[in-house]
Chain A
Amino acid sequence: MTKPRTMLEIAGLEKSFGEVQVLKSIDLKVQEGELVFVIGPSGSGKSTMLRCCNRLEEPTSGSIFIDGQRITDIPHRDLDRMRLKVGMVFQGFNLYPQMSVLKNVMLAQVKALKRSKAEAEARALEMLDQVGLKHKAGAMPAELSGGQQQRVAIARALALDPQVMLFDEPTSALDPELVGSVLKVMKGLREKGMTMLVVSHEMQFAREAADRVVFMDQGYVAEQGTPEEIFGAPKSERLKTFLSRVSHGDVEAEAD
């Protein structure tokens, strides 16, 4: 067996907004093909950490490596090229409302990757097929349900052939009956060997699909392990408290 390749590595990451230190020292590794789940109370810095991984947020200090390349010190003019390797899916989908679904998935392929229109369209249709929405290629985003919009957003990111996918609460804005379709797509991705870092409150999904679960609290990684370890035998008091609150359904209220 070959040594697993580290696709994403976060080392000593700190982030402050003004006086407030949101991330106090984060160390985290994601191996190739791994699905790592990040859980924790809101305000614990989960999303900020994720957003540092493609430098939508500028880290205050520390390093982040994508496939061995340190991305925390590359100059601004090279950020765009780096971001092609890191797909990101947002809580609010953020599809471009003025473009068809197909155009949404084609735009960055043509403008950032410089693919030909024909190539980009073929790739877009392939990705839409993968998320089960090829038949909606001609639709406008507003005509789709939230779950469908999120799947298009996943296709839009995948079409650029990223090495890592970041998911920032991908199902938090969805009606409960639409969550399943998005999770199914994410499961499919994992089977294809995509490396994924997921911030989410879907504990059931974490149990079923995650390779590892990371518990963040107050700007630190407080605990990490397999889903069995984290959910079955939590060590820290804070994780125990968090899990019991989640099981009582409090976390959604808190996230609002």
Chain B
Amino acid sequence: MDTFIQTFFNIDIMMQAFPLLMKGAVMTLKLCAVVILCGLTGGLMLALAALSPRRFLRWSAIGFIDLFRALPPLVLLVFVYSGLPFAGIRLAPFWAVVIAFFLNNSAYFAEVFRAGINAVPKGQTEAARATGLSGPQTLIHVVLPQAIRNVLPDLLSNTVEVVKLTSLASVVSLSELLYNANMARSVTYNSSPLVLAAGMYLVLLWPLVRVVSRYQRGLSSSH
């Protein structure tokens, strides 16, 4: 029992590793912020393109979404970081991660937005257009507010996935939370930093997960 505690819950080692892990957590948050913002923006654009009456635009967007939803994010990341240099494109780990996860995430967010927009009754658009609102005005003031409300739980749970996804960045030696924890583990020959990192992910994500599940319960009980 003592060995178990020494190996996984060694407070001294955790204290030592804490500053390094905090640094990693900050990097993780930075990464999340960039990936989520880019993903949301790109996802919305893709969703609008996928719903466009223009055939070329629509099919390009659908192709993009399908492709990047089917590709495993780790494969994408390794390709962007280790594959592209063969074409002369060498990216810093941070930007490799941002680009790979942006491609993956915007595809996911696009599907969420598309479902949300599709769920807004057609009559809403017709009523707005009949009162002289332009297409973009109708989208901004009438359709999107309803669409986002429709899929808020999905947007949030996708956000949770992004935070978890960023731990893959350790593969390209980006010093985010998992990478730093693993480094601390190898330096101290002790697994406690990993446990601490897991705890920090939990602290980060648990409130979000709570919100999502409360929201989903709230929705289903009001229906």
- In the complex, chain A residues 23-59 whose Cβ is within 8 Å of any chain B Cβ: 54, 56
Residues of A close to B123: CB separation below 8 A: 90, 92, 94
Q: Is the CB of B126 within 8 A of A56?
A: yes
Residues of B close to A81: CB separation below 8 A: 132
> Which of B132, B145, B149 has the most CB atoms of chain A within a 10 A radius of its CB?
B132
A120→B146 CA distance, assembly (Å): 23
Q: Does B133 contact A (CB under 8 A)?
A: yes
Q: Is the CB of B126 within 8 A of A112?
A: no
Residues of A close to B30: CB separation below 8 A: none
Residues of A close to B33: CB separation below 8 A: none
- In the complex, chain A residues 74-100 whose Cβ is within 8 Å of any chain B Cβ: 80-81, 83-84, 86-88, 90, 92, 94-98
Given A98-B146, A111-B141, A112-B137, does the pair A56, B131 have CB atoms closer than 8 Å?
no
A94→B124 CA distance, assembly (Å): 6
> Could you show 27 A-B contacts with beta carbons less than 8 Å apart?
A54-B130, A56-B130, A80-B134, A81-B132, A83-B132, A84-B131, A86-B130, A87-B131, A88-B130, A90-B123, A90-B130, A92-B121, A92-B123, A94-B121, A94-B126, A96-B128, A98-B146, A107-B131, A107-B142, A112-B131, A112-B133, A112-B137, A113-B132, A156-B127, A157-B130, A157-B131, A160-B131
Q: Does B129 contact A (CB under 8 A)?
A: yes
How many residues on chain B are close to A (CB under 8 Å)? 18
Q: Is the CB of A112 within 8 A of B127?
A: no
Number of A-B pairs, beta carbon distance below 8 Å: 67
Q: Does A182 contact B (CB under 8 A)?
A: no
Shortest A43–chain B CB gap in Å is 19
- In the complex, chain A residues 122-142 whose Cβ is within 8 Å of any chain B Cβ: none
Residues of B close to A98: CB separation below 8 A: 145-146, 149
Residues of B close to A179: CB separation below 8 A: none
A48→B154 CA distance, assembly (Å): 37
Residues of B close to A108: CB separation below 8 A: 128, 131-133
A219→B137 CA distance, assembly (Å): 34
Residues of A close to B149: CB separation below 8 A: 98
A107→B126 CA distance, assembly (Å): 14
